């Protein structure tokens, strides 16, 4: 049996909602730029935007060992296509995604100080991940 603190559950739900918002934005703006992988459901065919459409945007927690920025959530963006995406285009999509997340963080987490930083080759959300006080 596992237990998750209620504030962790609530934080994760808001973080997922933020990344679903990003997924919808990416699909609206760039969802037709590349052909969809033949085994991937089209946008809107599943109940979870991570599982359909061209993009899969998810937060991946890292403890930050070896990082100058410390712990946080790496912004992971994958494309479901057989097309060859040039590295410059991949970096552009990552930068757009990071900027979008940075702009939306205050809307989804108004009570926290969170920011998006470049950490090596990755973009990462860092800041206040505390559960508060009792």
Interatomic CA distance for residues 106 and 6, integer angstroms: 21
Q: Which pLDDT score is estimated for 110?
A: 96
Residue 104 belongs to a domain: yes
Interatomic CA distance for residues 129 and 134, integer angstroms: 15
Residue 44 belongs to a domain: yes
Residue 127 belongs to a domain: no
Residue 15 belongs to a domain: yes
Q: Which pLDDT score is estimated for 5?
A: 85
Q: Which pLDDT score is estimated for 57?
A: 96
What 3-state class would DSSP assign to 66? coil
The number of domains in the chain is 1
Report the chain's terminal Cα–Cα distance, integer Å.
24
Segments forming the whole domain that contains residue 48: 6-118
Interatomic CA distance for residues 102 and 34, integer angstroms: 25
Residue 50 belongs to a domain: yes
Residue 95 belongs to a domain: yes
27 touches 49 (CB < 8 A): yes
Answer yes or no: is pLDDT of 98 > 60.
Answer: yes
Residue 103 belongs to a domain: yes
Task: Report the mean per-residue pLDDT for the chain.
Answer: 93
Answer yes or no: is pLDDT of 103 > 70.
Answer: yes
Residue 43 belongs to a domain: yes
DSSP letter, residue 51: G
Q: Which of 1-10, 48-57, 68-77, 96-105 has the lowest mean pLDDT?
A: 1-10
């Amino acid at each position: 049996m596992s237990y998750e603190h209620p504030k962790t559950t609530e934080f994760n739900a808001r973080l997922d909602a933020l990344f679903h918002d990003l997924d919808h934005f990416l699909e609206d703006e760039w969802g037709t730029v590349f052909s969809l992988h033949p085994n991937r459901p089209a946008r809107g065919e599943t109940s979870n935007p991570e599982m359909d459409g061209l993009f899969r945007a998810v937060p991946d927690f890292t403890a930050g060992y070896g990082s100058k920025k410390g712990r946080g959530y790496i912004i992971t963006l994958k494309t479901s296509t057989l097309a060859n995406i040039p590295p410059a285009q991949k970096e552009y999509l990552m930068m757009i995604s990071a900027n979008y997340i940075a702009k939306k963080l205050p809307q989804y987490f108004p009570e926290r100080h969170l920011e998006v930083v470049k950490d090596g080759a990755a973009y990462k959300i860092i800041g206040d991940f505390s559960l508060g006080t009792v």
